[in-house]
Structure 1
Amino acid sequence: MFLVCGEALFDVFIGDESNKALHLDARPGGSPFNVAVGLARLGQQVAFLSGLARDMLGERLVRTLSQEGVETGLCPLFDAPTTLGMVELDAAGVPRYAFYGNGAADRLLSRDQLPELDEGVRAIHLGSYATVVEPVAGALEALVRREHDRRLIAYDPNIRLNVEPSVARWRERVDVLTGLAHLVKISDEDLHLLYGATDEAALARRWLAGGCGLVVVTRGAAGASAWNARGRVDVPAPRVATVDTVGAGDTFQAAMLAHLAETGQLDPAALAEMDVEALARLVDFAARAAAITCSRRGADMPRRAEL
């Protein structure tokens, strides 16, 4: 089983205006929420850990997760609102976000609400703004420190400066969590937000030297690269008619984790020792899954049969 930790919210897509009305399309989401759903659709057993609201939107998030086959029994409930992420798409389908979530339920998880995990949980994924806003950031760090030697830890920073505008704060959290994670996936956009025009390979080597087993950098239509102790692979992105890129990175992460589970490599030591052919298969599988999401509106992740 996978345990996915982080925020759960509604993405509210801004549509056309007519008769002085602005048309909105609200869909459940949030990066970790999407990863959890993506894993379930790819045939993996998965539980979700996040603070959820007792409001009407929180009820819908629970219902959506349950319908997708994601377990929610570990999620504490709060008398607090559900975060809204406003999404506006440009002509190329690339999203721009604005978040409304101060005091929202997905930020309220505390250390004393962390569950004990049984041996069935083989891997933990975390990321995005739940790793930088308190108290949930401290709780998730405590969780991965507690579980680091017992389970695979996967991490995607998924930078959201409109939630936490301090790049220094993001950089500090990324430095901590890349030292605790066995698998790090980061987009080139996030990497450049954090470190400017840095050498991706040099950064990957630094994270590997710090204890990470596998580092993957995604570049959208330009493909992705992966590094481990055995070397580097570069994989092109499939060509696809893009509707939008919402959820593509989350799909990529879910697909990598599902592929590792399917191939018996969901283990920190296995990540570091995968040969370049196995790395290429892993990244190609994830890229094909992400391309399917890009061909559809919103974070509509593929099911296993589609791959």
Structure 2
Amino acid sequence: MIVVAGEALVDLVPTPEGTLAPRLGGGPYNVAVAAGRLEAPVSFLSRVSTDLFGDRLLERLHASNVRTDLVQRGPEPTTLAVVGLAEDGSARYSFYVEGTADRQVTDPGPLPDTVRAVSFGTLSLVLEPGASTYERVLWRESERGALTVLDPNIRAGLIRDPLAYRDRYDSWLPHVGLLKVSVDDARWLAELPEDAPEDDVLDVARDWLAAGPAAVVLTRGGDGLAVLTADGVIRVPPTPVTVVDTIGAGDTVQGALLAWLHHHDALSTEAVRGLDNGKWAAALSYAGAAAAITCSRAGAEPPFKRELEMT
């Protein structure tokens, strides 16, 4: 079993008519949906509102083969994210998060022994008091021997103290088995210029690799995916696609990687460390193809396994 821990929210996405359409999302929520649709056994850990949005969020999880036995419910409202789209389909976000349900999650205690991997990231590791709760789960599951997977998925506008957040991020790395990070987020975390070359990012990623993770996966936008391991760097080109928007693309990569690792019996830190170049190329190509389908659709709409097999 894979557990994905973090927020579920509603994206308000621009339409061609100039209105805002609600789309169910949130980084960890999208990861869970992607992994479930790719037929990995996955459960979602979060606190979800009892409002109408919360009901719809749970319905979509069920329809995407995601278990909800670890979902807590509460009367607090659902977090909202207003999405702005650039001409190339890239997204920027503004959030309404005060007093919302997902940040009130309580510690579920030790997860069942059947849980082999736990994925974390995005707002849930920024907004208190939930951030400290998820952090405890990260430490506990790492100590238990589960594969812990992290995508910080930076939303800089919500990080009030960047220096403190960067220190906290560094403290997580010894407890992380697999790190996935976008090149842009890596630049932010390392305080590199926005136009810093990829070689500078790789130098930073090598430091992160030395701190604990078995591998560091880099999402490179239109340049495809890469992974840094003890054996070096493996790159795969992007899957050609007509981009509608990029909402949920990185989350789909995360969910698809989890699904690939499950299907190839590699859901452990040691198994990830032991993947050879050929297997990494296959894993990244699988994740990239899944993300391309998501980019071809409006909003975060990851593919089902049958759709991916048709490509």
| Identity within the alignment, % | 40
Q: Counterpart of 2:113?
A: 119
Per-residue deviation, 1:234: 1.2
Mapped contact 1:42–1:302 kept (Cα < 8 A): yes
1:103 corresponds in structure 2 to 99
Q: Deviations over 1:176-211 (max 9, x none)?
A: 222211000000111112221462222222122112
Q: Which amino acid counterpart does residue 200 of structure 1 have in structure 2?
A: V
In 2: Cα distance, 1:236 partner to 1:165 partner: 36
Identify which of 152, 155, 159 aligns with 1:160: 155
The 3-state SS of whatever aligns with 1:11 is strand
1:185 is aligned with what amino acid?
K
> Deviation digits for residues 115-155 of structure 1, max 9, x if unmatched?
43222211000100110211111111111111113210000
User: Which deviations, in whole Å up to 9, do the C-alpha atoms of 1:197-251 show, x marking residues without a partner?
Assistant: 4622222221221121010111111112111122220111112111110000000
Q: How does 1:177-196 map onto structure 2 within 5 Å? A: 177-195=172-190, 196=192
Please identify, of 61-70 and 244-253, the stretch whose mean Cα deviation from structure 2 is larger. 61-70
Tell me the residue number matched to 2:15: 15
Task: Please tell me the residue identity of whatever aligns with 1:55.
Answer: D
Q: Does the aligned pair in 2 maintain the 1:132–1:173 contact within 8 Å? A: no
Q: In structure 2, list runs of 5 or more residues that go unmatched.
A: none
Which residue is 1:229 aligned to?
230
Whole-angstrom distance in 2 between the partners of 1:189 and 1:79: 36
The answer as to whether partners of 1:2 and 1:121 remain within 8 angstroms in 2 is yes
Equivalent residue letter for 2:302: M
Residue 139 of structure 2 aligns with which residue? Answer: 145
Offset at residue 166 of structure 1 (A): 3.1
Match of 2:218 in 1: 217
Take 1:189 and 1:201, find their aligned partners in 2: how far apart are those partners?
12
Counterpart secondary structure, 1:258 = helix
State the Cα distance separating 1:16 from its structure 2 match: 5.0
Partner residue in 2 for 1:263 = 264
SS of the aligned residue for 1:58 comes to helix
Residue 205 of structure 1 aligns to a residue in which SS? helix
Structure 2 counterpart of 1:60: 56
| Of 7-16 and 92-101, the range deviating more from structure 2 | 7-16
Q: In structure 1, how many angstroms separate the alpha carbons of the residues matched to 2:65 and 2:54?
A: 17
Partner amino acid, structure 1, of 2:13: F
- Kept in 1: contact 2:89–2:244 (CA 8 A): yes
**TM-score in terms of structure 2 length:** 0.93
Partner Cα distance (1:16, 1:237) in 2: 27
**Amino acid of the structure 2 residue aligned with 1:249:** G
Alignment of 1:238-277 (within 5 A): 238-277=239-278
- Whether contact under 8 Å (1:62, 1:72) holds in the other structure is yes
Contact 2:126 2:158 survives alignment (8 Å): no
> What does residue 133 of structure 1 align with?
127
Matched with 1:299 is 300
> Residues 228 and 271 of structure 1 are in contact (CA less than 8 Å); yes or no, is this contact kept in structure 2?
no
1:171 Cα deviation from its structure 2 partner = 1.3
Q: Secondary structure at the match of 1:119?
A: coil
Q: Counterpart of 1:280 in 2: which secondary structure? A: helix
Q: Is the 8 A contact 2:110 2:140 kept in 1?
A: no
Tell me, yes or no, if the aligned pair for 2:39 and 2:65 is still in contact at 8 Å: no
Inter-partner Cα distance in structure 1 for 2:286 and 2:161: 34
Matches within 5 A, 1:6-45: 6-15=6-15, 23-45=19-41
Residue aligned with 1:162, SS: helix
* Alignment partners' CA distance in 2, 1:87 and 1:163: 15
TM-score (norm 1): 0.94
Equivalent position SS for 2:7: coil
